[in-house]
């Protein structure tokens, strides 16, 4: 491993801060699991209780309980009947705030990633798409239900969240949440999405995604 790519595991203090600070600082960080390492290029902040878009909006439930665990815990949930997405719990502890890992670049273990992402008989997935999107990122890293609740701060945790020592990071961009009003009410948008400018692994925002009513029988 070259000196420039040397990293260290992130500590509890890193995660036990305001979710927006943690979100920003996770850009450029690495997440490794089971032979694959992804460099994070896009995240979203979820403010926990009081954030209408957050799973923790209405407080603690069996499903979202991990969000109320210690900062640095990994919250993996199942959604849309077929996808897993992964979050890292942020501070303050007990508020249910977390950072959704939305996209990244595979920087190690691409072969292993392809074993999980490529479909036999179909053209290989373009490299930039391997971890572009929260559910794709989870597949690429091999994260699913059993990993929910892992404490990534623990030295023996199989999921390693690390950051380069003294490395430079590109410009950080932020975007507002579209179509969701904050707790303050009308028009109170919350800049919740963070990404690294110019990264090909960051997809264009799909605003509003007006979901059609499910097909009626």
Residue 116 interacting with DNA (CB under 7 A): no
Among 30, 39, 55, 112, binds DNA (CB under 7 A): 55
Name the 3-class secondary structure at 195: strand
Q: Which stretch binds DNA (CB under 7 A): 12-20, 34-42, 61-69, 187-195?
A: 61-69
Residue 209 in the binding site for DNA (CB under 7 A): yes
What is the distance between the alpha carbons of residues 186 and 141, in angstroms, rounded to a whole number? 38
Q: Which is nearer to DNA, 36 or 100 (CB)?
A: 100
Kindly report the number of other CB atoms within 10 A of residue 176's CB atom: 13
| Whole-number Å distance between alpha carbons of 22 and 26 | 6
CA distance 88 to 150: 10
Q: Is 61 in the site for DNA (CB under 7 A)?
A: yes
Q: Determine which residue in the list 81, 120, 126, 185 makes contact with DNA, applying CB under 7 A.
A: 81
CB atoms within 10 A of CB 32: 19
List interacting residues with DNA (CB under 7 A): 44, 46, 53-56, 58, 61-64, 67, 75, 77-83, 85, 87, 98, 100, 117, 119, 122, 129, 133-137, 203-204, 206, 209, 211-215
């Amino acid at each position: 491993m070259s000196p420039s790519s040397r990293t260290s595991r992130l500590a509890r203090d890193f995660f036990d801060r305001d979710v927006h600070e943690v979100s920003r600082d996770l850009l450029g960080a690495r997440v490794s699991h089971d032979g694959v390492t992804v460099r994070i290029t896009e995240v979203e902040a979820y403010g926990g209780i009081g954030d209408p878009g957050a799973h923790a909006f209405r407080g603690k439930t069996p499903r979202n309980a991990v969000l109320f665990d210690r900062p640095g815990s990994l919250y993996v949930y199942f959604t849309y009947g077929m996808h897993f997405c992964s979050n890292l719990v942020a501070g303050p502890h007990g508020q249910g705030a977390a950072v959704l890992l939305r996209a990244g670049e595979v920087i190690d273990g691409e072969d292993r990633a392809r074993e999980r992402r490529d479909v036999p008989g179909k053209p290989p997935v373009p490299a930039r798409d391997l971890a572009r999107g929260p559910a794709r990122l989870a597949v690429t890293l091999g994260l699913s239900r059993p990993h929910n609740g892992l404490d990534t701060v623990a030295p023996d945790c199989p999921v390693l969240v690390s950051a380069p020592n003294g490395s430079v990071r590109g410009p950080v961009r932020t975007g507002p949440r579209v179509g969701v009003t904050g707790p303050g009410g009308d028009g109170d948008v919350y800049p919740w999405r963070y990404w690294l400018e110019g990264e090909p692994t960051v997809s264009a925002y799909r605003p509003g995604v007006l979901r059609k009513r499910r097909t009626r029988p």
